[in-house]
Amino acid sequence: MTQRLDGRVAVITGAGSGIGLATARRFAAEGAKVVCVDLDAETGAKAANEVDGLFIQADVTDEAAVRDLFQRVVDEYGRLDIAFNNAGISPPDDDSILTTGLEAWKRVQEVNLTSVYLCCKYAIPHMQRQGKGSIINTASFVAVMGAATSQISYSASKGGVLAMSRELGVQFAREGIRVNALCPGPVNTPLLQELFAKDPERAARRLVHIPLGRFAEPEEIAAAVAFLASDDSSFMTANTFLVDGGISGA
């Protein structure tokens, strides 16, 4: 494997599972020092152990915890090169506009969108001091198209991530900080499996619309994240980076 991230310090939120875990493995394989952040102490610590990295247990909706975690990374490693702001949840239940409750709506915005605001807010000052950094925020294909998923709070939160990433990419470009939004299509992770468990026919309904005819594996998304994190994407910022099996192009 190429060592595009040799010596880089990378923070990954939601590193204990799915896309975050695959990316922790990929970043480590490419030479990065990986800081795994997760709410789940068991899976987060396991991931960090596997990639010989640091585990920080944190709830990414908690402002003090997010501030402290980025400070700790810089105290420990002296720098911060990459922030992959990826932790997220799917809505607890039926997420149609007609039925979703206000509390459920707020929780999804908090975990999926406010967390990205907080992580960018506390990562960027460290990157400004270095005059360089790469931020990748996980949005979704539902941020760019109507996907008939009836997931209103989820789609709205991801639209917010996309708009915020674009705005930050433009604002900080001349300070050497690149900010891109990653928009995966459906990926075979616990998050997706949970949705299919609630509605078993959903998988077949969704597959019809994916030109490549299958769901992504987390490793395929991790490869795209590594590209965005590395200098191979040095002329890309404020970008909507779709890795979706063609779903948004069909």
Catalytic residue ranges: 154
Residues 6 or more apart whose Cβ sits within 8 Å of residue 98: none
User: Using the rule CB under 6 A, is 245 a contact of ligand NAI?
Assistant: no
CA angle 180, 183, 186 (to 5 degrees): 160
Are the beta carbons of 15 and 36 closer than 8 angstroms? yes
In the complex, least distance from residue 207 CB atom to ligand NAI, rounded to whole angstroms: 13
Spell out, one character per residue from 3 to 42, where the chain touches ligand NAI: x when CB under 6 A holds, - when not. ----------xx-xxxxx-----------------xxx--
Pattern 93-122, binding to ligand NAI, x per CB under 6 A? ------------------xx----------
CA distance 91 to 73: 31
Among 53, 160, 169, 186, binds ligand NAI (CB under 6 A): 186
| For ligand NAI, the closer CB: 128 or 145 | 145
Pairing of the two strands 240-243 and 54-57: unpaired
Cβ atoms of 48 and 121 within 8 Å: the answer is no
- Residue of the chain from 190, 196, 207, 219 that contacts ligand NAI (CB under 6 A): 190
Per CB under 6 A, which of residues 119..148 are in contact with ligand NAI? Answer: 138, 140
Nearer to ligand NAI, 65 or 236 (CB): 65
The interface region with ligand NAI, picked from 28-36, 66-74, 81-89, 198-206 by CB under 6 A, is 81-89
CA distance 90 to 76: 33
Shortest distance, position 131 Cβ to ligand NAI, whole Å: 29
Q: How far is CA 111 from CA 59, 68, 183, 232, 233, in A?
A: 9, 18, 17, 30, 28
Cα torsion angle, 177, 134, 48, 115, sign: positive
* Nearest-approach distance from CB 194 to ligand NAI, in angstroms: 7
